[in-house]
Amino acid sequence: MAKDNNYVEQLKGMLPQYLDILGVSTKGPFKCLNPNHMDKTPSMSFDAKDGRHVHCFGCGATWDIFDLIAVNELKSPTIDGPYGKPKVEYSFSEAYNEALKVLNVDARPMTQSEHKQPENERESQLRAKRDEVNAFIVENASKLLSTSEFNKIKNPKPEQRQSHELGLKYLQERGLSPEVAERFKVGFSSNWASPTAILKGHKPQETPRLIIPTGPFSYIARDSRDSIPDNEQNYKKMKEGPVHIFNEEALSKNQPIFIVEGEIDAMSIMETGKAEAIGLGSVANINIFMKALYKAKKARKDDFYPTFLIALDNDDAGNRAINMLTTQLNHAGATNYVVQIARGSKDANEALVKDRAQFTKDIENTLKDPSNRLQGLLDYINRNEEVEAISTGFKNLDKVLDGGLYEGLYGIGAISSLGKTTFALQIADYIAQYDKKPVLYFALEMGTYELMTKSISRITFENAQGEETLAQGTRSLLKGKWKQRYNKAQYANVMQSFKEYGDFYSDVIIHDGSEARPTIYDISKTVNSYVARTGKKPVVIIDYLQILKPTNDRGTDKANVTTSVNEMKKIATRYHIPVIVISSFNRLNYNSPVSMEAFKESGDIEYSTDVLIGLQLSGVGQEDFDVNEAKKQTPREVEAVILKNRNGATGDTLHYAYYSMFNKFLDMDDAEGGTEKLTTAPHTQVDDEGRVFNSEE
C-alpha cells in the first residue's frame, strides 16, 4: 500500500498537467470548475504555493486533482461541505483509477476495498474528536432549550440560563413551538464557536446559535442575532459534521411530504400540524436526498408511494434545483408537484410568522389541490400574453400553426429516406439563424459532422441562385475535393456558405448519440443542465423516437416508447418550450397515405402530441403510384399532412419540393415565389469524388 500512496502523491503533483488537459492556464484566474457555480467572472485559480489545489474565491471550492477528475470525468455530484463550501462526492478508487488513465500513469489500479482516500492517524483522531464534540454540543444545547430538562439543572450557570431564555425567545420570534423543537432535539447555545475551526487551531468568534441536529454527529448552527455584520453574513448558517437531510425519517411513511431548502422552513410547515416536511439544507444536496429516497423505497419494497410537494426558493438557484429534483423524482416513479406555499413572503417561516392561520390554510389547500389549478390557469394566461410564436422558416407551416411553434410536443413522421431529418434540421437552422434562439438537436442516427455538412450543403444551394455548377452535395463537401478541383466561383460559394453557417451554428447544439444512445431521461438531464447553465430555454429536437435507448430493458418496445413520449411532454411543459420528435413508419406505410394509424406502433405519440405531421410522397395511394420511382425524382414532391393540431385546424396538406442531394425543402405554397424558386433552382449534382455534373443532361 505504501507504493500506492506514492502514486497518490505523484498524481496530486500532476494537477498542472491535468489543468492543461482541460485547457486551463495556471498563470491567472479562470472560470470556476464547479458545475454548480455560474461563474460570470474568472474566480478560480491554481494555488502555486502548494501546487496541489485550485481555489475559488466565489463559491469557496478548494479541490485537488481527484476532486477535479471526479467532477469532469466521472460527472460526480457536488454537495455542501463544512461552512457551506462545495465538496465533491465520489469513490476515491474510481477517481484514482480514472486519473491513472487520463494522465497515462503506469500503476496498479486501486480495488474497491481501498475505496477511501488514505487517512493518517492525526486526521483520524481529529475526526473522532470532532464527532465527540459535536455530539456533546447537540445533547447539551437540546437540554438547555427544553424547559423540563433545564429545570432539572441545579443552580444553572449564567450562560446556561442565558441560552435557555434566548433560545425560547428565538423560537417565539420564528413562530416555532417548544414541542416541535423538542421533537427534533433542537437546542440553543449563547456562545457557540465552530469545533472544526477550534480543532484546526483557529480562534473563531463566539455567537448565539440555534442548534438544529441533522444526524448523530452533525447539525446546523444558525446565528440568532437580530443584526449580523455584512462580513459575517456568509457564516450565519454553518454546518458541522457529515451532510444529512433534515427529517429524512419522514420517507418511512406513505404520506404527503413537503420538500423545502431550510430546516426552519421544514419545521414551520410541521408547526401547522397538517403535513410532514424535509429540509434539504442546500439545493446542492439533491443527490443525497435521492439516495435516502431509494434506500427508503428499497426497504418498503412495493409499498412506497409518498407524494412529494416541492416548495423550494423562488430564485434562479431554486428553479434550477426544482428542475433537477422533478426529473429525478419522475425517474424514480415518485408522485410530485411543484407548489407555492409562501405567496407574498420570501419563505415558509416568514409566511408562518406573518399570518399563522392563513399559512395553515394555504398548507391545507395545497394538500387538497397540489396542482393549484386555478392559480396555474391564471399564471398560464399571464405567461402566454407575451409569448410569440417561433417561426419554422416555412410560411405554409407557420400559417397552419398560428404563427409557428409554441410550448408543446410536435411529432413528425414518415417512411425512411423521405427527408425527416432534413426537414427538422432546416427548421433548427432557421430558428437559430433568424429567430435567434438556441436549439438542442439530439441526433441518434447521424453524426455531428454529417448533420453540419447537410446544413452547409443546403446553404450552398440557397446561395447558388440558379447557377448550375455552384451547389454542393454532402459527400463532396465532406471529401474536401472542392478545395482543389472546383473553379473560383464554386470555391467562393462554399466559403461564403461556411461563413454564413458559422454565424449561427453554435446555437444549434448537436448531441451526437449515434454510438452511445441516450435514454429520454439522459436527454431530460441534458436539457435541465443547459437551462441551469445558460438561463436560456431551447427548442428541443429528438431524431428519432424509435432508436432511443429503452428506459426499461424488460419492457416492450411500445411501453418504452410510451414512457419516452410522456417524458418529452413533461420537458415541454416544464420549460414551456417546443419539443419536436421524429418518428419512423414501417414498410407497411410505403404505399399508403399517412394517417394516425401509421403512428399506432409509436407508443402514445398520437395521444400525447399537440401537433402531429405526416410527410408523404405526392401521389401516394393512387393506383399507379411507385414509391421507388417517386424517390428518384429531382426534386421529390413531398406533402406534409397535418394529422393533429390541438389548437388549430387539421387536415391541411402542405406542398414541398425536396432536393435530397442538397438537403433542401422548398415551400411550394408560398405565393411570393414558391413556383419561381422551383424553376430557377439549380439541378447540379456532385458525385462521391466531388465531380460536378448536370442532372438534366
What homologous superfamily is domain 2-116 in, according to CATH?
A: Zinc finger, CHC2-typedomain (3.90.580.10)
Q: How many CB atoms lie within 10 A of CB 449?
A: 13
Q: What pLDDT is recorded for position 658? A: 93
Contact of 327 with 525, CB cutoff 8 Å? yes
CB burial readout 386-424, b (16+ within 10 A) else e: eeeebbbbbebbbebbeebbbbbbbbbbbbeebbbbbbb
Q: Which of 451, 442, 444, 432 is nearest to 536 (CA)?
A: 432
Q: What pLDDT is recorded for position 332? A: 84
Contact of 613 with 582, CB cutoff 8 Å? no
43 vs 579, which has greater pLDDT? 579
Which CATH class for the 119-244 domain?
A: alpha beta
Distances from the Cα of 176 to the Cαs of 145, 210, 349, in angstroms?
13, 12, 9
Residue 309: pLDDT band (50, 70, 90) is very high
d(CA 20, CA 246): 40
d(CA 204, CA 49): 25
What are φ and ψ of residue 215, in 5° steps?
-165, 180
Q: What is the 3-class SS of 14-73, one letter each residue?
A: CHHHHHHHCCCCCCCCECCCCCCCCCCCCCEEECCCCCCCEEECCCCCEECHHHHHHHHC
Q: Which of 106, 26, 109 is nearest to 65 (CA)?
A: 26
> All 3 cell numbers of residue 64?
485537488
Q: Which CATH number fits domain 395-674: 3.40.50.300, 3.40.50.10330, 3.40.50.970, 3.40.50.10490?
A: 3.40.50.300
d(CA 314, CA 369): 20
Place of cell 488537459: 21
Q: In one letter, which amino acid is 695?
A: S
d(CA 35, CA 286): 14
Over residues 672-685, the mean pLDDT reads: 44
% of the chain beyond a pLDDT of 70: 87
Q: In one letter, which amino acid is 375?
A: Q
Q: Is the predicted pLDDT of residue 305 greater than 80, yes or no?
A: yes
pLDDT digits (tens, 9 = 90+) for 267-299: 999 999 999 999 998 877 888 898 889 889 888
Place of cell 488514505: 118
Over residues 139-156, the mean pLDDT reads: 90
Q: What pLDDT is recorded for position 514? A: 79
pLDDT digits (tens, 9 = 90+) for 207-258: 999 999 998 889 999 999 988 888 888 888 888 888 889 999 999 989 999 9
Q: What is the 3-class SS of 82-125, one letter each residue?
A: HHHCEEECCCHHHHHHHHHHHCCCCCCCCCHHHCCCCCCHHHHH
Q: Which of 294, 364, 375 is nearest to 328 (CA)?
A: 294
Q: Is the predicted pLDDT of residue 113 greater than 70, yes or no?
A: no
pLDDT digits (tens, 9 = 90+) for 335-381: 999 898 887 888 899 999 999 999 999 999 999 988 776 666 666 66
Q: What angle do CA 63, 132, 177 make, to 5 degrees?
A: 95
Do you know the residue count of the chain?
A: 697
Q: What pLDDT is recorded for position 199? A: 83
- The full set of domain ranges for the chain reads 2-116, 119-244, 251-386, 395-674
Distances from the Cα of 526 to the Cαs of 21, 442, 491, 521, 630, in angstroms?
24, 10, 38, 9, 39
Q: What pLDDT is recorded for position 116? A: 53
Which CATH class for the 251-386 domain?
A: alpha beta
pLDDT digits (tens, 9 = 90+) for 242-254: 888 999 999 998 9
d(CA 495, CA 473): 14
pLDDT digits (tens, 9 = 90+) for 404-446: 999 999 999 988 878 999 999 999 999 999 999 999 999 998 8
Strands 684-686 and 692-694: antiparallel
d(CA 26, CA 392): 45
What are φ and ψ of residue 587, in 5° steps?
-65, -20
Q: Is the predicted pLDDT of residue 674 greater than 60, yes or no?
A: no
Q: How many CB atoms lie within 10 A of CB 107?
A: 16
Contact of 490 with 497, CB cutoff 8 Å? no
